[in-house]
Amino acid sequence: MLHKLTVKELAAHDGEKVSLDGWVYNKRSSGKVRFLILRDGSGYLQCVAFVRDVPPEVFDLMDRVTLESSVTVEGTVRIDQRAPGGVELSLSGLVLHHMAEEYPIGKKEHGTGFLMENRHLWLRSSRQVAILRVRSEIEQAFRDYFYQSGFTLIDSPILTPAACEGTTTLFQTDYFGEKAYLSQSGQLYLEPACMALGKVYCFGPTFRAEKSKTRRHLMEFWMLEPEVAFAGLDDVMALSEDFLVSVVSRILDRCPEEMKILERDTSKLEKVQKPFPRVQYKDAVRQLHELGSDLKYGDDFGGDDETILTQQYDRPIMVHRYPAAVKAFYMEPDPEDPSLALCVDVLAPEGYGEIVGGSERIHDHDLLLSRIREHGLPVEAFQWYLDIRRYGTVKHGGFGIGLERTVAWLCGLNHVRETIPYPRMLYRLYP
C-alpha cells in the first residue's frame, strides 16, 4: 500500500512514491505528455505523465477523463519551484472512481443567477474554496479570542417568544398553538447569563426577514455576540476594537494563499491597528453632509452613507451615540443627552460599512419597562428579561458582529452571497 497523502502534505515527501484521492480540476496535453490538475480540498497538484512512463491504459484514461471526475493518482513527489504550488507528481498510476458528466460550471463566465442555482457545485471553484477557508479561519479566530479572554460560551435558543431587533423582520412559526419566532439575536438570553458568569458570548445562526435586496443583507446570517457584566459603552468599544485587530491579524497570518487567490490587497488590512477613530453620530452626519449626502439628522445611516463615510478612513471607525429613536428598545440613554443611546456601530473601511452593532443596556427596571411599552412590545413575553433588573442589577453591555459581513470585508467581496455556503436571500431558498 502506498502512503496516502493530501496535496497540502506533499512538500515534506520529496522523492517518495505516494497516492492521493481527489477530483480532476483541469487537464491539458502536449505531444507525448499529459498534465492533470488534481484538487483534493487541501490544494491543487499538477500530475505529469509521459507516454513512455505509464501503461497505455493509464495514458488513454488521461485523455478520456472528464473534469470533476473522481480519481486516485499514484506517483513520485517532485519538489519543483516552477510547478504551481512548488510541487509536482510524476504520475505512474490513475484509478477512476466515477467519470463525471459534463460539468455545468466551466471556465467561462457565468451569470450570478446561474451560479446561485448551482451553488452546490459552484462551491468547488477555487475562489469559493478560498472564501470558505477564510470563513472557517475567521470562525475559529472568533471563538479562540473569547475563549482565551475568559468568556464562557452560552448557546442561546433559536426558537423564541419575543423580538430583540424590532418586530418588522421576524420569521414567525407555530409552536404548538403559540406564536414563536426564529431568533434575531441571542443578546436577550446573554444578559441573564452574564449575571451568572460575568463574561459570556454566543455564536450561532440568526434570522431576519429583511424585505430588502442589498449586497449586505441575508435572511439567515451568523452572529457572534459577547456580553459583559459591569461594562459600559467605553468598555464595549475597547473590546470590539481589540477583538477586530486580533481577528484581522490572524487572517493575515494564516490565510496568505487564500488572499492571493482572491486578489485581496492585504496592505489595506495591515492598517487595521488600534486606535480606531471614535466619531459621534452627530459629527458623522456633519461629515456626510460635507461629502454630499442628504441624510437627515435623526435618521439611521443607509448603505450608501456608510459606504461614502468609510471610504474616508483606512481602518474601522466607531460611530457612537445615535439618536435613541432609531435604535433598539434596550439601549441605555446617554445621561448627558437622553435623546441619544449609549450605542456603537463599527463600520469597516473601504466602503464595507457596518459589521458590529453594540451598546450599553438599560439596567433600571422601570425605565426598561417603559421602553418595552413605548415600542409596543408585549410585556408578558419580557417578564423574564425584566427580572434581571430586579436582582442585583448592574450596568452591562456587549455587541454583535456579523460573520458574513466580516468575511466580505476581509476577502474583499462586494456582496455577502459568496460568504456563506448556502445563502438565504430574498426569494432564494434553493439549494
Per CB under 6 A, the segment of 58-66, 142-150, 238-246, 395-403 that binds ligand 4AD is 395-403
d(CA 428, CA 426): 6
CA dihedral sign, ordered 133, 135, 136, 137 = positive
Question: What stretches of 7-125 show up as alpha helix (H) in DSSP?
Answer: 56-64, 112-117, 119-122
Q: Phi, psi at residue 385, to the nearest 5°?
A: -70, -40
* Residue 89 cell numbers, joined: 507528481
Q: Are 392 and 360 in contact (CB under 8 A)?
A: no
CB of 156 to ligand 4AD, least distance (A): 10
CB of 190 to ligand 4AD, least distance (A): 7
By CB under 6 A, tell whether 223 contacts ligand 4AD.
yes
By CB under 6 A, tell whether 347 contacts ligand 4AD.
no
- Binding ligand 4AD (rule: CB under 6 A), the pick from 135, 199, 208, 389 is 208
Question: What stretches of 295-343 show up as alpha helix (H) in DSSP?
Answer: 303-310
Q: Which among 316, 313, 319, 317 has a CA at the least distance from the CA of 300?
A: 319
CB of 63 to ligand 4AD, least distance (A): 47
By CB under 6 A, tell whether 243 contacts ligand 4AD.
no
Under rule CB under 6 A, which residues in 271-310 are in contact with ligand 4AD? none
- Per-residue binder mask for ligand 4AD (CB under 6 A), 120-159, x = binder: ----------------------------------------
- Binding ligand 4AD (rule: CB under 6 A), the pick from 54, 71, 116, 164 is 164
Q: Which among 401, 214, 423 has a CA at the least distance from the CA of 302?
A: 214
Per CB under 6 A, the segment of 112-120, 216-224, 314-322, 371-379 that binds ligand 4AD is 216-224
Question: How crowded is the C-beta side of 250, counted as CA atoms within 13 Å?
Answer: 18
- Binding ligand 4AD (rule: CB under 6 A), the pick from 355, 388, 410, 411 is 355
d(CA 195, CA 369): 19
* Residue 167 cell numbers, joined: 418586530
By CB under 6 A, tell whether 402 contacts ligand 4AD.
yes
- Binding ligand 4AD (rule: CB under 6 A), the pick from 358, 360, 385, 417 is 358
Q: 95 pairs with which residues across the strands?
A: 72
- Binding ligand 4AD (rule: CB under 6 A), the pick from 75, 316, 323, 400 is 400
CB of 289 to ligand 4AD, least distance (A): 24
Q: Are 350 and 310 in contact (CB under 8 A)?
A: yes
d(CA 431, CA 423): 9
- Binding ligand 4AD (rule: CB under 6 A), the pick from 210, 234, 235, 350 is 210
Instruction: Kindly list the residues in this chain that would bind ligand 4AD in the complex (CB under 6 A).
Output: 164-165, 185, 187, 208, 210, 217-218, 221, 223, 225, 354-359, 398-402, 404-405, 416
